[in-house]
Structure 1
Amino acid sequence: MIANRKDDHVRFAAEQQRDLGGYNQFDDVSFVHHALAGIDRSEVSLATRFGGIEWPVPLCINAMTGGSVKTGLINRDLAIAARETGVPIATGSMSAYFKDESVADTFTVMRRENPDGFIMANVNATASVENARRAVDLLRADALQIHLNTVQETVMPEGDRSFGEWAPRIEKIVAGVDVPVIVKEVGFGLSRETLFLLHELGVRVADVSGRGGTNFARIENDRREQADYSFLEGWGQSTPACLLDAHGVGIPVMASGGVRNPLDVLRGLALGASAAGVSGLFLKTVLDGGPTALISLISLWLDQLAALMTALGARTPAGLARCDVLILGGLRQFCADRGVNTRRLATRSRSYRTIHESLGGIE
C-alpha cells in the first residue's frame, strides 16, 4: 500500500508540472536595475554557508520520493545528477523504510551513486529519535530533514490526525542526532510564528517550502474516491511571502516551493534565503530525459545564476540580500497586513554602499 502511494505521488506531482508554468508570487519580486553595479565574473562565488552547513552552490535537489521499485530508480537518477553537478540532495520521506526494511535500497542508492555528496535524510514529525538516527546512519547523511505536512495528512485518506506531539518530538530529535536538522514544510509555507517556535526548539535551518509548487493537498485529493477537499487548493502562504515574513526571526531559511528558474532562485536569495530547493520541475525533467537531461538543466541554472549575480554586483549568495528589490501586487498586500516594511527593501543598498563599495561589488 505504501509503495502504491509513493508511485501515485510521483505520477500526480509530475502531472501538476503542466499547470505550474504561469504566474506565482515570485513574479511580484522585481530587482531595481543599477546599470553600473556589475562586477567581473571571476569575483563571483556560488558557495553558501548557513546553520553549520556549507554548500558549494545555493541550490539543492529537494525531497521527493523513495519506498518502491519505481521510486528507487528515480532516486538513482537524481543522485547521479547531484553527483555530476555538485548540488546537495534530499531523499523523500523514509517512513516506508521504518515499516519495511526491504525498501532500504530505494534510499541507499543515493549514497551508492553519490558517495561524496551532501545528502539529507528525510523523516516526518512523528518519527522517534531512534528512527531519526536510523535514517541518518542508513545514508551516512550530512543533515536530517523533518517535514511538516498537516494539510497533506488531513486530506490523505489514511493520514495522521494527531498533531499535538509534533513540536516536542522535533525538539527531541534535534537533541538526539549528531547532524544539523532542517525542518521543512511540504508546500504550504512556514509562518513567522512557526519559525520562532522552531528556533526555540533548537532547529538549525528552516525550509519555508511555500505555496506555488507541488500541491500535496491536490495530490491526496486526487487519490480519494470522492474529491471532497478541492477547496483547499489555495491553502497556505507562497514562498516569497514566507521569506519576507521570516525577516528578523533569527533562523537561517531556505526557499523552496514554486521555484521555476534561476531568476526565482535569485529572488529567493535576495529575500533572505541561504539556498533554494527544487523538487517538481527536477522530477519531471528526470522522468522525461533521465539524469543526462537533469544534469544539463542544473548546470545551465548554475551558470545563469552566476551570470545574474555578476550583473547585480553580488560576489556571494549572501550579497544578494543587499540588492534593492521591489515588492508588488498581492505580495505587497501580504507584507502590509503582516507588518513587513517593503520600502526599506527597495532602497537598502544606500545604507551600506559607498561609491567605492559600489564599484567593488557586494560581499
Structure 2
Amino acid sequence: MSTERKDQHVALAQKLRDESRPNGFDDIGFIHHSLAAIDVARVDLSTSVLGARWPLPFYINAMTGGSQRTARINAGLGRAARAAGVAIATGSQHIALRDASLEDSFRVVRREAPDAFVFANVGPTVSPEQARRAVQMLDADALQVHINPAQEIVMPEGDRQFSDWAQRIEAIAGAVPVPVLAKEVGFGLSRRSIEELARRGVRAADVSGAGGTNFIDIENHRRRRSEYGYLAGWGQSSAFCLLESLHLPPAVPLEILASGGVRHPLDVVRALALGARAVGVSGHFLHTLLDEGEEALIAELARWAEQLSSIMALMGCASLAELSKVDLLVTGRTAELARLRGIDLAALAHRQH
C-alpha cells in the first residue's frame, strides 16, 4: 500500500463522482398525512450507537488518510465533525500500521475533534495486535473493520485470500478494548453476512450498499486494461440490505447502521425508517469539502440537521423510534428483489396499524 494509491483513490472518487447512480433509496416512499405534522421544536434527532448517545443520527464515514494530501483532508473533516457535533471515521489505517511516519495523517482526526465519537478503521487482514494499535492511534471509541472482497479482487495489488476473514474478524473483536463495527465498502451486507458477523462477536454492522463511491470502478481505472468494467453494477443497495435486516431473528442482536449513496437528508430519513440507528456519509461530504471548502462543509452539516428535523416534523415523528414505525411504500427494483427474498412488503405498508 502506498501514499500514491491513497491520493489516487481520492482523485478517482472526485473524477468518477456520479450522484445520479441508482442507490435504492428512491424506491422507498412514505404516505403523506396532511394533519400529522408536529412542531419542529419537538423533534429529537438523538440516537444510541454502541452504548454512546449521539446528538445527530448521521456521521462522516470512512474516507482516507496516509499521505500529506489526505492528512489535510482528514484535518478538515475532523474540524467539521467538531463544529457540527457528529461522529467521524477515518479511512483504512493499514498504511500507518506499516509506516509509523504516516500515523499523524490519521491522528489529526482526534486532534481536531477531541470530543467526537471516532471510529478507527482496519481490514480483516490485520493481526489482533495491529487492530489494538489502530485503536490506540486515535484513542478511538470503536473500531470499523471494513470488508471489501469485491474491491480487492479488482485492485491490481489487492488481496486474493479471503477464506479466513470471518475467523480473523472474530479474533479482532475479541482482542480490542472497544466495540467492533463491521462495514462493507459499497456492495452491501446480506442478511447471511450479518448473521455470521453476529456469531463472530461483532457489535454493529454498517450495510454500506451500492449507489455511492464505487470501488470496483475506482480500482478498475487503476488497471492498465480496465478489464473489470462489467462488474460496475455489483452488489446490493443499502435500502435492500436494510429491508433484509428488518427480518433478522431476535438472536442476532447487532445494531444496524447504513451508508452508501446517501445524497441528502431524505435518504437519511429513509434509512432510519428502515431500521438504521445512524447513517454514514462519505462521498457527498468529501466533495463538499474539496469543491467548496471547510466552512461550506460545516454549513452543510448544519443544514442536514435542520432539514432532518423539518422532514420528521412533516411526518409527525418526534423521535427516531417513531420514525422506525411509519408505513413504508417499497416500489421499483427494490420491491422486486424484496419479493424474491420473501419480504412482506404489504405488512411494511401498514405497520403503523
Taking the aligned partners of 2:50 and 2:92, their CA distance within structure 1 comes to 22
* 1:23 positional shift: 4.2
CA contact (8 A) 1:274 1:318 kept: no
Superposed, 1:228-243 pairs within 5 Å as 228-243=227-242
* Residue deviations 1:17-55 (CA, integer Å, cap 9, x gap): 2x2235431100111112222222222111101342321
Structure 1 segments (4+ residues) deviating >6 Å: none
One-letter amino acid of the structure 2 residue matched with residue 96 of structure 1: I
- SS of the counterpart of 2:119? strand
Equivalent in 278, 281, 284 of residue 281 of structure 2: 278
Aligned residue in 2 for 1:11: 11
- Please list every run of 5 or more consecutive structure 1 residues that lacks an aligned counterpart in the other structure: 351-363
Identity %: 52
- SS of the counterpart of 1:314? coil
* Residue deviations 1:251-295 (CA, integer Å, cap 9, x gap): 221110010000000000011111100001111110012210111
TM-score, normalisation: structure 2: 0.97
Taking the aligned partners of 2:238 and 2:138, their CA distance within structure 1 comes to 29
Aligned residue in 2 for 1:208: 207
- SS of the counterpart of 2:280? strand
Aligned residue in 2 for 1:293: 296
Equivalent in 318, 336, 343 of residue 315 of structure 1: 318
Taking the aligned partners of 1:16 and 1:271, their CA distance within structure 2 comes to 28
* 1:318 positional shift: 2.7
Question: Is 1:56–2:55 an aligned residue pair?
Answer: yes
- SS of the counterpart of 1:297? helix
Taking the aligned partners of 2:163 and 2:21, their CA distance within structure 1 comes to 37
* Residue deviations 1:99-157 (CA, integer Å, cap 9, x gap): 10100110001111111111110000111110111011111001100000001000000
CA contact (8 A) 1:148 1:185 kept: yes
Taking the aligned partners of 1:346 and 1:307, their CA distance within structure 2 comes to 23
- SS of the counterpart of 2:323? helix
CA contact (8 A) 2:23 2:260 kept: no
One-letter amino acid of the structure 2 residue matched with residue 227 of structure 1: S
Aligned residue in 1 for 2:177: 178
- SS of the counterpart of 2:350? helix
Aligned residue in 2 for 1:189: 188
Aligned residue in 2 for 1:359: none
* 1:297 positional shift: 0.8
Question: Is 1:263–2:263 an aligned residue pair?
Answer: no
- Please list every run of 5 or more consecutive structure 2 residues that lacks an aligned counterpart in the other structure: none
Q: Structure 1 or 2: larger helix share?
A: 1
CA contact (8 A) 1:257 1:278 kept: yes
Question: Is 1:222–2:217 an aligned residue pair?
Answer: no
Q: How many residues end up aligned between the 2 structures?
A: 349
One-letter amino acid of the structure 1 residue matched with residue 220 of structure 2: N
TM-score, normalisation: structure 1: 0.94
Taking the aligned partners of 1:34 and 1:197, their CA distance within structure 2 comes to 40
Taking the aligned partners of 1:201 and 1:52, their CA distance within structure 2 comes to 19
RMSD between aligned residues: 1.1
